[in-house]
Every structure is written in C-alpha cells, then in structure tokens.
Structure 1
Amino acid sequence: MPGFVNALVIVAVAVVVVVRQFRDRPIGTDRRWWLLPVILAVVALREPGILDGHHPAASVVLLAVELLIGVVTGAGWAWTTRIWTASDGVVWTRSTKASAVVWIVGIALRAGVFALGAASGVRQDSSALLLGLAGTLLARAGILAWRAQFLGASSQPAPAYGDDMRLAWKERV
C-alpha cells in the first residue's frame, strides 16, 4: 500500500506543480521555497524499500541516476522559465514551451531508467521516483529564487531559453 500512496502523491504533486507553473504567478524570494522538496524527500526516505536488497550496488546506481535526472530536469525547467518584475516590484514567473519540452525529456529519461532497472532485475520502488521529484522541485525553486534576486527593479522580462520574448497582452503589467 505505501507504493500506491507514494504513486498518488507523485501524481498529485506533479499535476499541481505543472498546472501552477504554466500560469503567471508571483514568486517570493523570502519564502521557504525548499520546504515542499524536503517534505517529499523525507517521505521517500522513510520507506524501507528504496533500495533493492538483492541488487544493492545496481539499486544505488539507479537511484543516483534518478536523482541526477531530477536535478538536471529541475535546472532545465528553471532556466527555461520566464521571470520578470512588475512595476510594483513583485517578481512574476511562468513556464514556457521549452519548459514543457524539459519535462517531457525528463519523464522519458526516468522511464528509460525504470526500464533499464526492470530489464536487469532490480526492483524499484516508487519512493525513488518521489526522491527524484523532490530533487527536481528543489533545483527549480532554488535556481528561480537565485535568478529572481538579480532582477531588481527592472520591469523587463529575464530571458529564458527557447523564449522568443514576445509578450502577450496579459503579461504586460
């Protein structure tokens, strides 16, 4: 049952995060941006089946690759996200089409890691995926908070990779 609960948590967090990120939303650099990823990591690490007892070395390698993919996906997502400062000084953010591509590539890579583990007989628990999601969210939130600090009072959007910088009517503040 814990695997099923972890799967539900993963799907719920992913849906909420992705839906929220493709809308204009203010971000606060003084908030505890690291709290949700830490909670997800604690939930993942409390599960005893995160490593396969029959294949400990291969299991650790697959977990490390999962974490690496998660951190790289989060960093790619953060660098492809548009951020700007409104005239009142509030920093806003919205993911771009390039961000969606980063998510799709990250999911494909994670599916490849799972398939590789299954082909080599390594049992993988959903807690490894949850830990990878925590790494993704931690890297994204940390990089966005770092990028937001450098915007200052500028109202010009910060460039995001893959962004053609055309502003929609509702983005003009």
Structure 2
Amino acid sequence: MSTLVNVVAVIAVMALVVRRQMRAQRLDTDRRVWVLPLVLGALALRDPRLIDHEHTAQSAVLLGCGLVAVLAMGSVWGWTVRLWRAGDGGLWAKGTRATVAAWVGMIVIRLGLYGVGAALHVHQAASALLLGLAVLLLVRSLVVNWRARTLEAPGQVAGLR
C-alpha cells in the first residue's frame, strides 16, 4: 500500500474515531473490538518498508518506542472515557476533555518520534503509524470494555467529567 493511501487511511480512521468518541453512544461490550485493529495491523505489517533496512536497529527502536507509547496512551485514553448505565440498563460512553488531551498527547509523542527519526536519517513509513493506530484502538477498546464490565447498577457513572 502506498504511503499516501496509508496516511489517508490513518487520518480517516482517526477522524471517525475521535468524532464518535466525543458524543454519547451506546456501548456494545459484545462487539468484536479486535476486528478493525486486526485489519489495520495486517495492512501495516504487509509493508516491507515498515523497518528502514539501511538503519535497521534505529528503525526498530523507533518502532518499538512508538508501540510502547501507543500502549500507554491507549490505556490512558480508555480510562478517560466516561461510562454510565442508563435507567434501562444500557451502557453508555462518552469522551471527555481528558480524552482530547490524551489524543493531543499521542500526536505530540508521535511527532517527537518522527523528529528523532528525521534527525537520525531513518525513513519512517506511514505503515508504522497505521500499526500504532491499530494497537491504540485495540488497547483503548480492551480497557473500556474491562471498565464497562465493572459497572453494575443503573445510574452508576465511571470516568472523568
């Protein structure tokens, strides 16, 4: 897949996810939360330029640091979502200001990693961003679903306001 297509795919998925996260929506904990991350991850891993073969060690370290960062930020993002049970027992979720801050933090970290890579003259493929997004979405979904299972009574609220 070309770099342009990867970048467009990442931007489209991020815009869709952020838009959906900032409005209240009914949460389905039985949904297969791994499908979209699996598809994005598979697309990213198919790219032979995921690792810069001229700077293999530096490229692998940058990719690893990026994945560790998205693991952490996916967890943070999952904890910033406000969850509550409605009177009918339905589970609802909505992003908060802290959710926006988590996204901004992730973008800043990602830009910093790209800056380090550029300073080291390491080519960073857009598929690394796609792989990071896959991990981010998977971790966030797992955290939110885990938290959702801890809500018992209708009217109970969890998360930041």
User: Does the TM-score normalized on the shorter chain lie above 0.5?
Assistant: yes
Query: How far off its partner does 1:159 sit?
Result: 2.9
Aligned twin of 1:159: 159
SS at match of 2:93: strand
Q: Aligned ranges for residues 54-133 of structure 1 at < 5 Å?
A: 54-133=54-133
Structure 2 residue runs of 5 or longer lacking an equivalent are: none
Work out the CA distance in 1 between the residues paired with 2:159 and 2:32: 25
Q: If the length of structure 1 is used for normalisation, what is the TM-score?
A: 0.90
C-alpha RMSD over aligned residues: 1.0
Check whether the contact 2:51–2:59 (CA below 8 A) recurs between aligned residues. yes
Deviations 1:111-155 (A, max 9, x none): 000010010011000000111111110110000000001112331
SS at match of 2:49: helix
- Count of aligned pairs between the two proteins: 161
SS at match of 1:48: coil
SS at match of 2:158: coil
SS at match of 1:49: coil
Aligned twin of 1:7: 7
Structure 1 residue runs of 5 or longer lacking an equivalent are: 164-173
Q: If the length of structure 2 is used for normalisation, what is the TM-score?
A: 0.97
SS at match of 1:92: strand
Q: Aligned ranges for residues 128-139 of structure 1 at < 5 Å?
A: 128-139=128-139
SS at match of 1:50: coil
Aligned twin of 1:49: 49
Work out the CA distance in 1 between the residues paired with 2:14 and 2:158: 25
Query: How far off its partner does 1:28 sit?
Result: 1.0
Work out the CA distance in 1 between the residues paired with 2:74 and 2:159: 17
Aligned twin of 1:150: 150
Check whether the contact 2:88–2:154 (CA below 8 A) recurs between aligned residues. no
